[in-house]
Structures are given as structure tokens and as C-alpha cells.
């Protein structure tokens, strides 16, 4: 079945550091890929998505590129801020199936 493997956390970085959170997936066909973010005390919010190979999703300075050859969708940001502290979830939906399959989440803490 479909699965998502996410970088183990927690991750702690200093403000303005470069961020990478790794995500790889297993799915039949051509899934759509997502990053969701959960800020403290809030619900899940869609951060970015990509629906086909080589697409790049971007939002709020975050980027992720759909790499079919490596079945990966790593999240990156060039300079993190304290306000980026949250839990980040990588997820996918398979073609013809709207069910989201999530990774386990990565807790990110940015220190000033």
C-alpha cells in the first residue's frame, strides 16, 4: 500500500539557518504530494503541493520538488524564522483516491 517516510525529529535550528526535511514515498501510479504544517494549538494547514513529476510547490519561502526518480519530496527553506516553529507533515494521495496518507511528522523548533 501507499506509505510516506519522513525525517525523524525533532529538529532544532537557529534563526536564518537553512532547512531541509526529508520525505520519501511509496505509491502505485502517480501520486500527488503535499506538505502540511501544524502550528501550536492550530489545525493542519496545507503548505504546498505538487501534482506531477518535476513540479515544484512553493509557499511562504518553503519549496519542495516532486522527484519521481528518487520518490522524494524534500521540504526546504533558505532562511528559517522563529515563526516557522511547527510540526510538518509530508503526505500523498494516489491517483483516483482522495485519501491522504501521512508521514509521522517532524517537529521543527527555531531558536533566536
Partner 1 sequence: EAGVAQSPRYKIIEKRQSVAFWCNPISGHATLYWYQQILGQGPKLLIQFQNNGVVDDSQLPKDRFSAERLKGVDSTLKIQPAKLEDSAVYLCASSLGGDTQYFGPGTRLTVL
Interface residue list for partner 1 (CB under 8 A): 4, 6, 32, 34, 36, 42-46, 49, 51, 89, 91, 93, 98-100, 102-105
Give min distance, CB of 102 to partner 1, in A: 3
Q: Is the dihedral of CA 26, 2, 73, 20 positive or negative?
A: negative
Query: β-pairing, 86-93 with 32-38?
Result: antiparallel
CB of 78 to partner 1, least distance (A): 25
Q: Single out the residue of 108, 110, 107, 106 nearest to residue 7, CA to CA.
A: 106
40/112 with CB nearer partner 1: 40
Element (H, E) at 62: strand 62-65
Residue 46 or residue 82: which is nearer to partner 1 going by CB?
46
Amino acid at each position: 500500500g501507499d506509505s510516506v517516510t519522513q525525517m525523524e525529529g525533532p529538529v532544532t535550528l537557529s534563526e536564518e539557518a537553512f532547512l531541509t526535511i526529508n520525505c520519501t514515498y511509496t505509491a502505485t501510479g502517480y501520486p500527488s504530494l503535499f506538505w502540511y504544517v501544524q502550528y501550536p494549538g492550530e489545525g493542519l494547514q496545507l503548505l504546498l503541493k505538487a501534482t506531477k513529476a518535476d513540479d515544484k510547490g512553493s509557499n511562504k519561502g518553503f519549496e519542495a520538488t516532486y522527484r519521481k526518480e528518487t520518490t522524494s519530496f524534500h521540504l526546504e527553506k533558505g532562511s528559517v524564522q522563529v515563526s516557522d516553529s511547527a510540526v510538518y507533515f509530508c503526505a500523498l494521495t494516489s491517483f483516483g483516491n482522495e485519501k491522504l496518507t501521512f508521514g509521522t511528522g517532524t517537529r521543527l523548533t527555531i531558536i533566536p
